[in-house]
Structure formats: C-alpha cells, structure tokens
Amino acid sequence: MKIETAKATKTIKSKGGRPPKEIIRNELLAVRLLPGEKKAIMAKAKTARLTPSEWFRKAALKATVVQRLSMEETKYLRMLSGMANNLNQLTKLAHGKGLPAVITVLIGLLEKVNEVMDKIIKDDR
C-alpha cells in the first residue's frame, strides 16, 4: 500500500491475516440435548448449509412458543382438583354414613363442576 504525501511516497506493509469482525458474538447459551436431538439438528444444519450454531440461532429466533396453560386455565385446573378431592371425601362419607346423607351435597358439587367446565369451554371459543 502506498501513501502519497506532498513530500514523498511512503510504502506501508500490511499486517496480513483476517480483518476483524464487525459483529462479535461473545454471549454463550448452553443447551443439553439427547444424542438423537443433536443428530437431527446437525443434519438439518448440514441440509441448510449452515453451521449448527447459525442454524440453531435462526431457528430459535423464528420459533413461536405457545404457552401450555394460561393463568386462568391453571386456576380452573386447581379448582377442579379441589372439587375432585371433595368428591373423594364425600364418597368416603357416603360409605360410612350412607348415601342419602350426602346426596344434596353431591348435587351442589356437581353444579359447581358444571359451572367451571362451562367457563373453560367458553374461554376456548
């Protein structure tokens, strides 16, 4: 490389090597995989002609994650679980004191279960 100035022409020797990267990725995220999962990712990266890191980064950034249960759905499941526990207690009571003693309680519990199920079905629409 030559640099021309008013006084003289001066030659500067290049250092050589690869020029520095514009974007430096220095954050690391470790992911544990099963051997089969790793093979599948490696094969997909190879098919896409990408390094596994590039493929994984692109796949992760484009992925859409769907929440399993909303907070409200989790609340409904807890309610149903509590009601199922109550039903078991009532069944035990019916065995001990007889069925006629708990029929009215069971009818009320069944109505509550139906209300919760209706709310869940309405939310899914």
Name the packing angle between helices 103-124 and 71-97 (round to 10°): 160
User: Do residues 109 and 86 lie in contact, with contact meaning Cβ atoms separated by under 8 Å?
Assistant: yes
By the 8 A CB rule, do 3 and 14 touch?
no
Asked if pLDDT for residue 113 goes beyond 90, the answer is no
Mean pLDDT of all residues in the chain? 83
- Which residues lie below 8 Å from residue 112, measured CB to CB, with a gap of 6+? 83
Q: What is the pLDDT of residue 70?
A: 83
Q: How far apart are CA 40 and CA 33, in angstroms?
A: 10
b/e per residue 104-118 (b: at least 16 CB within 10 A): eebeebeeebeeeee
pLDDT digits (tens, 9 = 90+) for 19-69: 888 888 888 888 899 999 999 999 999 999 999 999 989 999 998 888 788
Task: State the amino acid at position 25 in one-letter form.
Answer: R
Q: What would the pLDDT profile of 63-93 be if each residue is shown by its tens digit?
A: 888 878 888 888 888 988 988 888 788 788 8
